Chains A and B, each alone.
Chain A
């Protein structure tokens, strides 16, 4: 149980185009999903918190107009990188939270590698 999928697993796009990444919780409902970014050989940095039915909360320094997040249902959150540039190339990982009462556990998707040419 607690499986999270991401699509696509990798994408290559031209500079200036937009890319959408999907994050799905396959066997549970997630009111909260998180989007992380990971540079090579570095740790995960939280970009934003996505709550179903409401606006995402972005971390300081993350451009909300560039990284559009939509959490349309309890099993799907999308991250759209708008007008992508080479510096946006990175590994993007989502996670979904299962709620066990007072405790939460995050389950991570397999990640999406974005390369912007």
Chain B
């Protein structure tokens, strides 16, 4: 079965600093990978997704992620964090070709932004 690990439970960065949130997945074949953001008491908003092709994926709000097959990673990055980016971030993996379309989520990383 597939699994997703987000090693960092909580990260604090200063506004304007760069950000990298880590995500590692476990799956035998090429997965579909997603990053979602959740503000307190809200649902999830899709930031970006990777299905195939270019391993560097651009998303909304200035986020990007890079798929590295050799490291089984899909880390999320942003060059300059804004205070409004404070939220919970979830990495998720979907499985291709099995008919199972549900996502498996990581445990999440809470981002705090200091002024």
Residues of A within 8 A of B108 (CB): 42-43
Query: Which of A46, A103, A108, A113 is the one whose CB lies under 8 Å from B44?
Result: A108
A38 to B103, CA, bound (A): 14
Contact A107 B94 (CB under 8 A): no
The residue of chain A having its C-beta at the shortest distance from the C-beta of B36 within the complex is: A108
The residue of chain A having its C-beta at the shortest distance from the C-beta of B91 within the complex is: A43
- Known contacts A43-B90, A44-B90; A49 and B45 CB within 8 A of each other: no
Contact B101 A104 (CB under 8 A): yes
Contact B102 A46 (CB under 8 A): yes
Query: Does B17 belong to the interface (CB within 8 Å)?
Result: no
- Which one of B42, B43, B90, B103 has the greatest number of beta carbons of chain A within 10 Å? B43
Size range of the chain B interface in the assembly: 20 to 34
Query: Does A8 belong to the interface (CB within 8 Å)?
Result: no
Residues of B within 8 A of A105 (CB): 34, 46, 49
Query: Does A67 belong to the interface (CB within 8 Å)?
Result: no
Q: Residues on A close to B: CB < 8 A?
A: 4, 6, 32, 34, 42-44, 46, 49, 91, 93, 95, 97, 102-111, 113
Query: What are 7 inter-chain pairs, A to B, with CB distance below 8 A?
Result: A34-B103, A43-B106, A104-B94, A105-B46, A106-B94, A108-B45, A110-B42
Q: Residues on B close to A: CB < 8 A?
A: 32, 34, 36, 41-46, 49, 51, 90, 94, 96, 101-108
